[in-house]
Structure 1
Amino acid sequence: MTNPITIFIVEDEAIAAESLKLDLEKIGYKVVGLADNKKDALSGIYRHKPNLILMDIKIKSEDDGITLAEEITRKTSHPIPIIYLTAYTDQDTIKRAIQTSPYGFIAKPYKVEVLETSINIALNKYHQILDRELKLIEQQQKLDAISKYDSLTQLPNQLSLVENFNAILEVFYQQINANADNYEETIPSLIPIFYLDFSRFNLIRDELGIDVSNSLFKAVVRRLKANLGEDVIIAKLEHYEFCVITEPIRHRQSAIDLAETLLEKITPPLIYKKEKIYIDFNIGISFYPIQGDSINELLNNAKAVVKENNGLGLNQYEVYSPAFHTNNKNEVSLESKLHDALEKEEFEVFYQPKVDIKSNKIVGVEALLRWNNDTHNNVSPAIFIPIAEQIGLIDKIGEWVLNKTCEHFKILEKKYPKKLEVSVNFSPRQFNDKLLEQKIFKILADNYFNPHYLEIELTESLLVKNPSLAVKKLNKLKSAGLKIAIDDFGKGYSSLGYLQHFNFDTLKIDRDFIKNIDANYKNASIVRCLIQMAHQLNLKVVAEGVETPGELNFLANNDCDFFQGYLFSRPIAFDQLIDLINLRNS
């Protein structure tokens, strides 16, 4: 026998409350409490934890039932469905009540059959919401299991790095705060990040085959684990690479000692069919906080000293230094040219179409900056945008891009009646600008551009640095009608859980997950789950970097909404965009 549904009644009039209680019990519900004021209602609800609350809008307290409902929803870990009882017809009161997202209204005087129907509808709606949340949690767990561990080594992969690094940071600052008085003497002040490059394993794979190279590589993993403590994080990166993060240390020498130990213990040859297979690798080292404040930056710095230092040789280690980079002269020249690029009108906005998968029509575009310089012809944005960010020019350049995009789309409106959305990327420096909202709104107003057709693209790593500030900024932009997209999803190595906390419209899946998705079962599983989760969170999904019909067919079969990529069009100049729209959308 199932337990009856429990109901708590908050009713201003005692006689009405008793009458309601009798009607509910006749139907088969169990009334676990009655209250006519805020204090008694709160204590009774917390004590009995009912399945449903019937809330009179008028109660014997300074606060009315609507305010009480808001407080109950805010303070209970699992919100209890609330149905309002009311004889009011005041529109302002009804609007306030609706804003609390109730599960229904019952007008007084009520009919018993209406009472029963309203309760059944409310409970069904509540259970649907619970089921949807449960499915989201299950999919999150499934996706984490697929995406956060390397299938060959069973080690955490790049997607786990932010969470693991943040866990070490928490310990790091706990130690500092707990021993602030003795900081100089006893407290660790550095977190070392090691990049281990076993890329010469490619030769082993080419000569002996993938099965043998995989077996030997797993033997290397066993050696790594044997020579690193349990509290050390070992993450498998792409190809034959690792990231190792140890607990905080006091002196750099401790990291150097560990690197020397690893080079000694890992390099002895492995035996395969009585043949010696030599293990060659290099180590790059960077330190938090002096060489970066994010795991991405620290790992890239550690990787740079290995990848860019041609004289390093094999089985060596190198510590990152800001003076290391071999392209400093080139960067200085580029920086000088960047300062004049706007004035010389060397920048141009290209557009890559966003295409509806079902109709194959262009529904929007992404604005992409290009720089045509006489000396450094067609400089890649991957090179000049980080420089512009570092030297503080990105704000002016970003404003120019948004202005130029608005100008182009006012022209497009006259030529093409159906309005398209345009997406514009914003860098960390732009997003952190205190005047960001005012600058955007001014540019839109100056160009008479409808904010509903502008989408701001932000990377996930930008948002997770200061989530509370990011939420406030996003809400301001959303309130003005702008749309928000999270760009390159998966590239920031962060958890999916934060998706629920930001008011996004669009999820853009990074091209690394899309490449060969029709043949890569792991990426296929990840993308399939991402699409399902995004849709349950009412997000549209854009797949980036679609280059083959097989990739597109997979996305179409799994209900992806939109795609971008060379299969449809490369980024093109504005004049070419007009021609393409006329051709494809006619």
Structure 2
Amino acid sequence: MSNPISIFIVEDEAIAAESLKLDLEQLGYQVVGLADNKKQAVSGIYKTKPDLILMDIKIKDEDGITLAKELNRRSSNSIPIVYLTAYTDKETIKRAIKSSPYGFIAKPYKIELLETGISIALNKHQEITEKQIKLQKQQEKLDAISKYDNLTQLPNQLSLVENFNAILEVFYQQINAQAESYEETIPSLIPILYLDFSRFNLIRDEMGIDVANSLFKAIVKRLKANLGDDAIIARLEHYEFCVISLPIRHRQAAIDLAEDLLEKITPPLIYKNRKVYIDFNIGISFYPIQGDHINDLLNNAKAVVSDNRKLGLNQYEVYSPAFHTHHKDEVSIEAGLHDALNNEEFELFYQPKVNIVSNKIIGVEALLRWNDPDNKNISPGIFIPIAEEIGLIDRIGDWVLNKACEHFKMLEQKCNKQLEISINFSSRQFNNNLLEQKIFKILAEHYFNPEFIEIELTESLLIKNPSLAIKKLNKLKSAGLKIAIDDFGKGYSSLGYLQHFSFDTLKIDRDFIKNIDANYKNASIVRCLIQMAHQLNLKVVAEGVETPGELNFLASNDCDAFQGYLFSRPIAFDQLIDLVSLRND
């Protein structure tokens, strides 16, 4: 026989509380506690852990609504609260609704309505709990699929943040444990090693993918044997690894490790009596002196391999700022950027977003292009980071928003269409203290409806300071703007934080979409992403769709919209007007 539903009563009138207790017990419920003030309520609820709380809005020394909010904040598994009150004025009800109760029962109550109200609240709580459990199971399933490389069974780049944080925990535990007694042995560095086996491409091309994969797995065995169980080995893209070592005291320990790996890994492998030589390079960076995030540390370790062309094969190098070479024309690009706005050298191109079911254009992504007279068609990947570094990105961002609003007022007049415009924001723009005021001012000047603006942000931008990001997003959302999380999956993080940010759209990175109809692992990841996004009430947009097979897969798995060359490349505004007129008639 199952235990009766347990209920805790918070009521400042003793007679009313006892009467309510008798009614509840008559209905078959178990009353596990009574309280008439905050202190008694908090203590009793944590002690008894009831299935439901009946809360009077007026209690001694406290407001029941405030107490309900505090109880919800304190508990990760909130207990359903039903307000039982005689206070039914509009202002009180409005405040109570904001605390997300599971129901209201007005006093004096009828016992049938009391039972009905409790049943509805418990059913609602069960539905929410089941949904949360389902989301958690899907997250676990997705993690199992997405965080391990299928070929090597090693953690992949999506798991780097989690694994790096585990090493950091060890790092600070050692510091705290040894700070007083063993100062000379305190670890001060965490080495990050980037291993580049890119010449494996030659083995693959000459001997075939199956042979290359077999040999590559043999390399993984050598790495594991020489690194031991404490180091984290993650496979990156193609034939690359990231190794995160346990904390060390001196840089020399990492150098010794690199030299040992080069000695132990490079001896030839034997395949059908043929020697196959293994050549690779190692880049090394150190936490915290060369970065405090795994992405930055890994990029720095990569830089000494990819930027230093004289390194040669089977060598290692330690990162220093001197190795971070810039674009060969960076000085002239910087000078040109200062004049680009005044000279009207920037232009906006637009890539359509298309509804998968109707094949209609539902919006566009605005993409900045620079027509520099001296350096034609400089990639945004080159000039935007420079603009951000030298402090011009805010002015350029204002220009982009102004020009997009101007264009789409014209489009509305010519085509009688209102499309959503997605605009990318950089880290510096998003962190500007005047961001919200600037956006609202520009939209007001153009009489532009905020509901047709979607701001695209990358996950790496948001996870640097989540609490600040949440506040900014809530302000933007309250004004009617939409928020999209861009390039999802590219930032090495998980889906967990999606529940904490006010997103409207999840954009799946093109790396997951490429050949998705033939890549069963990416197919599983994307399928789970779409399902979870929809359960969180997010629209899903797939980026980089280039083939009918990719589109068919997305359509069959209920993706909402797509962008990509299959429909249209980014096009100038005049071309967009023609395309919208043609395709949306």
TM bracket (short chain): over 0.9
**1:38 maps to 2:38:** yes
1:202, CA displacement in angstroms?
2.1
> Over residues 45-76 of structure 1, what are the superposed CA-to-partner deviations in whole Å (9 max), with x where a residue is unaligned?
222111111122222x1223222222222223
Counting only pairs closer than 5 Å after superposition, residues 191-210 of structure 1 correspond to structure 2 as 191-210=190-209
Cα separation, partners in 2 of 1:390 and 1:29, compared to 1, 3 Å: same
1:542, CA displacement in angstroms?
1.0
**Distance in 2, Cα, partners of 1:328 & 1:565:** 28
**1:65 maps to 2:64:** yes
Number of the residue aligned with 1:511:
510
Number of the residue aligned with 2:13:
13
**1:124 maps to 2:123:** yes
1:342, CA displacement in angstroms?
1.3
Number of the residue aligned with 1:153:
152
**1:50 maps to 2:46:** no
Secondary structure of the structure 2 residue equivalent to 1:34 = strand
Which consecutive unaligned segments of at least 5 residues does structure 1 have?
none
Larger CA deviation: 443-452 vs 455-464: 443-452
1:292, CA displacement in angstroms?
3.5
**1:409 maps to 2:413:** no
**Distance in 2, Cα, partners of 1:170 & 1:76:** 25
Counting only pairs closer than 5 Å after superposition, residues 177-196 of structure 1 correspond to structure 2 as 186-196=185-195
1:484, CA displacement in angstroms?
1.2
Q: Indicate if the aligned counterparts of 2:283 and 2:304 stay in contact, CA closer than 8 A.
A: yes
Matched AA of 2:5: I
**Distance in 2, Cα, partners of 1:83 & 1:375:** 69
> Over residues 260-287 of structure 1, what are the superposed CA-to-partner deviations in whole Å (9 max), with x where a residue is unaligned?
1111000111222222221111112233
**1:262 maps to 2:261:** yes
Cα separation, partners in 2 of 1:170 and 1:396, compared to 1, 3 Å: farther
Matched AA of 1:578: I
Number of the residue aligned with 1:535:
534
**1:220 maps to 2:219:** yes
1:186, CA displacement in angstroms?
4.9
Counting only pairs closer than 5 Å after superposition, residues 274-313 of structure 1 correspond to structure 2 as 274-313=273-312
**1:500 maps to 2:503:** no
Cα separation, partners in 2 of 1:550 and 1:248, compared to 1, 3 Å: same
**1:573 maps to 2:537:** no
Larger CA deviation: 304-313 vs 69-78: 304-313
Cα separation, partners in 2 of 1:585 and 1:183, compared to 1, 3 Å: farther
**1:162 maps to 2:161:** yes
1:245, CA displacement in angstroms?
1.7
**Distance in 2, Cα, partners of 1:292 & 1:34:** 54
> Over residues 118-156 of structure 1, what are the superposed CA-to-partner deviations in whole Å (9 max), with x where a residue is unaligned?
211111110000000001111111111111111111111
**Distance in 2, Cα, partners of 1:291 & 1:15:** 67
**Distance in 2, Cα, partners of 1:420 & 1:458:** 19
**Distance in 2, Cα, partners of 1:181 & 1:429:** 40
**1:583 maps to 2:582:** yes
> Over residues 94-135 of structure 1, what are the superposed CA-to-partner deviations in whole Å (9 max), with x where a residue is unaligned?
111111111111122222222222211111110000000001
Secondary structure of the structure 2 residue equivalent to 1:271 = strand
**Distance in 1, Cα, partners of 2:65 & 2:385:** 50
Cα separation, partners in 2 of 1:328 and 1:364, compared to 1, 3 Å: closer
> Over residues 160-187 of structure 1, what are the superposed CA-to-partner deviations in whole Å (9 max), with x where a residue is unaligned?
1122223334444555567778999554
**Distance in 2, Cα, partners of 1:54 & 1:510:** 47
Cα separation, partners in 2 of 1:109 and 1:325, compared to 1, 3 Å: closer
Larger CA deviation: 320-329 vs 443-452: 320-329
Matched AA of 1:18: E
**Distance in 1, Cα, partners of 2:315 & 2:227:** 18
Number of the residue aligned with 1:563:
562
> Over residues 450-476 of structure 1, what are the superposed CA-to-partner deviations in whole Å (9 max), with x where a residue is unaligned?
222211111101111111221122122
**1:435 maps to 2:434:** yes
Task: Give TM-score, length-normalised by structure 2.
Answer: 0.95
Q: Indicate if the aligned counterparts of 2:307 and 2:323 stay in contact, CA closer than 8 A.
A: no
**Distance in 1, Cα, partners of 2:182 & 2:489:** 37
Matched AA of 1:481: G
Cα separation, partners in 2 of 1:274 and 1:560, compared to 1, 3 Å: same
**1:107 maps to 2:106:** yes
Number of the residue aligned with 1:377:
376
Q: Indicate if the aligned counterparts of 1:163 and 1:495 stay in contact, CA closer than 8 A.
A: no
Matched AA of 2:70: E
Root mean square deviation of aligned Cα:
2.1
**Distance in 2, Cα, partners of 1:326 & 1:37:** 66
Matched AA of 1:370: R
Counting only pairs closer than 5 Å after superposition, residues 288-437 of structure 1 correspond to structure 2 as 288-324=287-323, 328-437=327-436
**1:24 maps to 2:27:** no
Cα separation, partners in 2 of 1:39 and 1:318, compared to 1, 3 Å: closer
**Distance in 1, Cα, partners of 2:9 & 2:468:** 39
Secondary structure of the structure 1 residue equivalent to 2:328 = helix
Cα separation, partners in 2 of 1:453 and 1:82, compared to 1, 3 Å: same
Larger CA deviation: 124-133 vs 386-395: 386-395
Larger CA deviation: 500-509 vs 21-30: 21-30
Number of the residue aligned with 1:76:
75
Cα separation, partners in 2 of 1:41 and 1:193, compared to 1, 3 Å: closer
Secondary structure of the structure 2 residue equivalent to 1:329 = coil
Cα separation, partners in 2 of 1:235 and 1:85, compared to 1, 3 Å: same
**Distance in 1, Cα, partners of 2:444 & 2:169:** 44
Cα separation, partners in 2 of 1:106 and 1:173, compared to 1, 3 Å: same
Number of the residue aligned with 2:243:
244
Q: Indicate if the aligned counterparts of 2:37 and 2:61 stay in contact, CA closer than 8 A.
A: no
1:90, CA displacement in angstroms?
0.7
**Distance in 2, Cα, partners of 1:529 & 1:372:** 41
Number of the residue aligned with 1:140:
139
Task: Give TM-score, length-normalised by structure 1.
Answer: 0.95
Q: Indicate if the aligned counterparts of 2:327 and 2:382 stay in contact, CA closer than 8 A.
A: no
**Distance in 2, Cα, partners of 1:173 & 1:410:** 55
Cα separation, partners in 2 of 1:184 and 1:19, compared to 1, 3 Å: closer
Secondary structure of the structure 2 residue equivalent to 1:193 = strand
Cα separation, partners in 2 of 1:187 and 1:46, compared to 1, 3 Å: closer
Matched AA of 1:438: Q
Cα separation, partners in 2 of 1:114 and 1:272, compared to 1, 3 Å: same
Q: Indicate if the aligned counterparts of 1:542 and 1:562 stay in contact, CA closer than 8 A.
A: yes
Count the aligned residue pairs: 585
Number of the residue aligned with 1:522:
521
**Distance in 2, Cα, partners of 1:188 & 1:41:** 47
**Distance in 1, Cα, partners of 2:415 & 2:12:** 60
Number of the residue aligned with 1:468:
467
Q: Indicate if the aligned counterparts of 1:176 and 1:183 stay in contact, CA closer than 8 A.
A: no
1:536, CA displacement in angstroms?
1.4
Cα separation, partners in 2 of 1:180 and 1:15, compared to 1, 3 Å: closer
Secondary structure of the structure 1 residue equivalent to 2:62 = coil
Secondary structure of the structure 2 residue equivalent to 1:303 = helix
Secondary structure of the structure 1 residue equivalent to 2:412 = helix
Which consecutive unaligned segments of at least 5 residues does structure 2 have?
none
